[in-house]
Structure 1
Amino acid sequence: MAAPSLSTVAELFKPITWFPPMWAFACGVVASGAALYGRWTPAVIGVLLAGPLVCATSQAVNDWFDRHVDAINEPQRPIPSGRMPGRWGLYLALLWTLLSLAVASALGPWGFGATVLALALAWAYSAPPLRLKANGWWGNAACGFSYEGIAWVTGAAVMAGGEMPDLRTLALAALYSLGAHGIMTLNDFKAIEGDRRTGIRSLPVQLGVTGAARTACGFMLLPQAGVVALLLAWQQTGHAAAVLGLMGLQALLMRRFLQAPLERARWYSGVGVPVFVAGMMVSAFALRGAV
């Protein structure tokens, strides 16, 4: 059986999805307060591991186990279109899992352990018998925790020489993981028909388009309010004001999104989510300044 082209493999791995975990890892690096001098190697390895390896693995796993759903929602994707024939999708998911583990071994116990957890969640999200994505509450939580929380905490731990990050880092990572639950819901709007027909209870399927849109916005805004409260408690007033300003901009964009959520979910992902993640980095610098 002919091997898929490199462009098809790249499409399977979806490079556009690599940014959130790479950014979160970078936030952890900044929040650690550690100097980059002499620590560039683990920082670069960690960023590459978070995106082109672990996140790419999760995309391949998802496409393989969602091939019947994609045949309804997005038949042009590599597997349902036939451009990636046979079991190539599964083989690549397995290969990238092993490659991720091999690279993670260079980051010590924290980096390796976090990679094992992230990969376990990636497989549990898509593959039976768990298939967490079958329920939007659990599936989106797993993605948010993996993409944001694990990556952030790992970045901080690796830069601190393997030490447990302090409670401030853990608190911000947890809050932004909750916020990412809403971001993941945005991705479900494009797959409502296939999800409904194949028994996947995404939030748009469970709550309807309007209910899911409002829930997504709530998940994104409320944890950021918690971030602002913590930054004020830590006397990082300027950073708190910056995050609050970014929240105000998101609220304006959300107002337009909520007017037509089905049509504008992709639009909001493109313009609103970057504002959300900008707040993550502002918060990371606040921790660095408070060290």
Structure 2
Amino acid sequence: MTIKPLVKPAPLIKPLTVPAPGALLELLKPITWFAPMWAFACGVVSSGSGIEGRWPVVLAGILLAGPLVCATSQAVNDWFDRHVDAINEPQRPIPSGRIPGRWGLAIALCWTLLSLAVAALLGPWVLGAALFGLGLAWIYSAPPLRLKRNGWWGNAACGLCYEGLPWFTGAAVMAAALPDGRIVLLAVLYSLGAHGIMTLNDFKSMEGDRRTGIRSLPVQLGADRAARFACLVMAAPQGAVVAALAAWGCPWHAALVAALLAGQGGLMRRFLADPHGRAAWYNGTGTLLYVLGMLTAALALRGSAA
């Protein structure tokens, strides 16, 4: 007598050999492009130069800051983080198999070359900044240096790439030369503050980071101490910006940045009550006030240059 199986075997699914539709865009994480694009725009504004007739250059710079250099850093990070993501975010394109084989690495390399080609069209200062930023993106994620293994170095590299370099690049594009020293100072200060913003992103992956040897600041310091440190690092450079704007004869802009900082202080108190649970919430609220302060400072320099 033949016994029929109770459950019909599932058909075999052929493994993907090319990226699934939509997986490429997910790999490049468009949501992360806003910060460098905003910083680039702040650089353009702070330069004091008019953009009439220069829209193609400005748009190319925004493209370079977000969909090219920032997207490259995301692809590089996802490739070298694929084992960590298999624990923290198994639905990501690479660990889930929607970007199969070594396609992730190939995409990262192609986006790097494309970014350099566009940067070269925008002049030597922009090309130099792009080379520096892309270099940081690779050593942040790739062995043997893999800066992200230590939150002190990794967050500093990210802050510089997300805020300082795009700001510098935006000003350099407009001036076709080394930007004014005040612009460089503001770019550096907001890069330092972004170190704290980068720490906010590490709270969600503490378990996977511990298991894979990633020494993020929440892992090293614990959630409470890391949260207090992040708040301090975000606030202190903004205080320095307020002092600098006041010294440069921009009291109203200084007062507005101070008010935005005070608003962040109120939100920080709520964040510190539950760092692990509210890190993403603060990233979406306090960070908005932070970037509005960036634009305010850029407008102050534009006004003083007029």
For Structure 1 versus Structure 2, the TM-score category normalised by the shorter chain is: over 0.9
What is the percentage of aligned positions where both structures have the same residue?
A: 68
Q: C-alpha separation between the residues in 1 aligned to 2:21 and 2:132?
A: 28
Count of residue correspondences: 290
Q: 1:105 Cα deviation (Å)?
A: 1.3
Partner of 1:190: 204
- Identify which range, 277-286 or 80-89, moves more after superposition: 80-89
Task: Kindly report which structure 2 residues correspond to 1:10-25, keeping only aligned pairs within 5 A, or say none.
Answer: 10-25=25-40
| 1:41 correspondence with 2:61 | no
- Identify which range, 279-288 or 4-13, moves more after superposition: 4-13
* Residue of structure 2 aligned with 1:107, choices 122, 146, 149: 122
**Cα RMSD between the aligned structures?**
0.8
| 1:66 correspondence with 2:81 | yes
Partner of 1:133: 148
Moved over 6 A (4+): none
Q: C-alpha separation between the residues in 2 aligned to 1:234 and 1:33?
A: 15
* Residue of structure 2 aligned with 1:242, choices 237, 256, 268: 256
* TM-score, normalised by the number of residues in structure 1: 0.98
Q: C-alpha separation between the residues in 1 aligned to 2:263 and 2:20?
A: 42
Q: C-alpha separation between the residues in 2 aligned to 1:33 and 1:5?
A: 45
* Residue of structure 1 aligned with 2:108, choices 93, 96, 107: 93
- Are the aligned partners of 2:17 and 2:101 in contact in 1 as well (CA < 8 Å)? no
Q: Which residue identity lines up with residue 68 of structure 2 in the other structure?
A: L
Q: C-alpha separation between the residues in 2 aligned to 1:78 and 1:277?
A: 30
Unaligned regions of 5+ residues in structure 1, if any? none
Q: C-alpha separation between the residues in 1 aligned to 2:272 and 2:91?
A: 28
Greater Rg over alpha carbons, structure: 2
- From the two aligned structures, give the one with the greater helix fraction: 1
Please list the CA deviations of residues 182-228 of structure 1 after superposition, one character each: whole Å capped at 9, or x if unmatched.
00000000110111111111000100000110111011000000000
Matched position secondary structure for 1:266: helix
Q: C-alpha separation between the residues in 2 aligned to 1:68 and 1:74?
A: 10
Q: C-alpha separation between the residues in 1 aligned to 2:180 and 2:103?
A: 42
Q: Which residue identity lines up with residue 80 of structure 1 in the other structure?
A: P
Matched position secondary structure for 2:122: helix
Q: C-alpha separation between the residues in 1 aligned to 2:285 and 2:296?
A: 18
Q: C-alpha separation between the residues in 1 aligned to 2:267 and 2:254?
A: 20
Q: 1:91 Cα deviation (Å)?
A: 0.7
Q: 1:164 Cα deviation (Å)?
A: 1.1
Task: Kindly report which structure 2 residues correspond to 1:1-291, keeping only aligned pairs within 5 A, or say none.
Answer: 2-160=17-175, 162-291=176-305
Unaligned regions of 5+ residues in structure 2, if any? 1-15
Q: Which residue identity lines up with residue 274 of structure 1 in the other structure?
A: L
Q: C-alpha separation between the residues in 1 aligned to 2:250 and 2:160?
A: 25
